[in-house]
Amino acid sequence: MTELLNMIIIDGLSFALPLFIMAIGGIYSEKSGITNLALEGFQGVGAFTGAFAAVFLAQSMAGALPYYVSFLCAIIGGGIFALLHALLCIRFRANQVISGVVMNILAVAMTTFLTRRINASVFGHAGNKFMLGTSVRFTVPVLSDIPVLGAIFTDVYPFEVFILVVAVVMGYVLYCTPFGLRLRACGDNPHSVDAAGVDVNCVRAVAVVISGCLSGIAGMSFAYSISANFSSDIYLGYGYLSIAALIFGNWTILPAFWACLLFGFARSGGTALIHRMGLPSSYNDLVRILPYVLTLVLLVFFSRHNRSPKALGEPYEKGKR
């Protein structure tokens, strides 16, 4: 029983934490007033950029350098792709929901095509994947021996620690700095921000780019853990799960974290149950829907209590009241 519980905690955290950092990116964007359904596309493009960098560098470099560079490239790739969403929503005042959906479709088509072309022209073989393998893990001595809670410190991916550090920094920036105050005000009362001499559209654009950067971290984390490669399979709805988490968390970081943990443990718990019962591996596909079923159930009970930013989804026009 203890072994089963440890498996649920270890696998649940490795799934929940990338969701969490992506949800923080969504919170940044939507707190500024920009509806962001494009997190799925951001994390996919980020993973594509980082995976290409990792595979390319691995040809000439050994050790952990390609691993860390891949995350840097994923951050840059996700942020640059997010600029397109910011341009459509802020400069051209496109419908933000439609823009997000289009960004997701574009990300799938673009990265699938580019992966095939790069494999053929750069790496000299046909294929629709960048093979990465699974990230190394480490276990913290002493702390890992604690009953039950020790699983938190067992078989930890390096990106899990990185995500927690980034989450703390982003939480501090959002709630304890002047920039965070302006960003939150842009989503509730952008006219007051404009009256204070702050460029509302600039703040919103930065917030969207931040969401792309954080989603890139999530995409690279999934590529190094669940997928062990980059392919179109990386687009499995994780971005939409993170959006559900931030909505359940009422656009607040800590409650969104608990929602991500709930989704993560639902997924890992289902997988552990299948292994425990000795069911065929085909049942793993059934387990993948558990977080989405849980989302539907939670929507029934919590959606009526949600309070989104007042100006969410509304393009800002200077001088208009």
Residue 102 has pLDDT above 90, yes or no: yes
Residue 274's pLDDT is 79
The more confident residue out of 204 and 297 is 204
- Regarding predicted confidence, which is higher, 318 or 17? 17
Residue 1 predicted with pLDDT over 80: no
User: What is the per-residue pLDDT for 130?
Assistant: 95
Residues 217, 73: Cα–Cα separation, whole Å: 9
Question: What is the band of 236 on the pLDDT scale with cuts at 50, 70, 90?
Answer: confident
The position carrying tokens 């990792």 is 54
- Rounded mean pLDDT of 260-278? 85
What pLDDT does residue 311 have? 92
Q: Are 28 and 211 in contact (CB under 8 A)?
A: yes
pTM: 0.95
Pick the range with the lowest mean pLDDT from 7-11, 108-112, 252-256, 271-275: 271-275
pLDDT, tens digit, for every residue of 283-294?
777 777 878 888
Q: How do beta strands 229-230 and 130-131 pair?
A: antiparallel
Mean pLDDT check: name the lowest of 2-11, 34-43, 74-83, 217-226: 2-11
- How would residue 280 be classed by pLDDT, with cut points 50, 70 and 90? confident
Q: What letter does residue 134 receive in the DSSP assignment?
A: P
CA dist 1 and 276 (Å) reads 10
CA 217, chain centre distance (Å) = 7
pLDDT at position 292, please? 82
CA atoms of 121 and 123, how far apart (whole Å): 6
Cα separation, 218 vs 224, in Å, equals 10
Residue with more model confidence, 26 or 236? 26
Q: Show the domains of the chain with their CATH numbers.
A: 2-305 (1.10.3470)
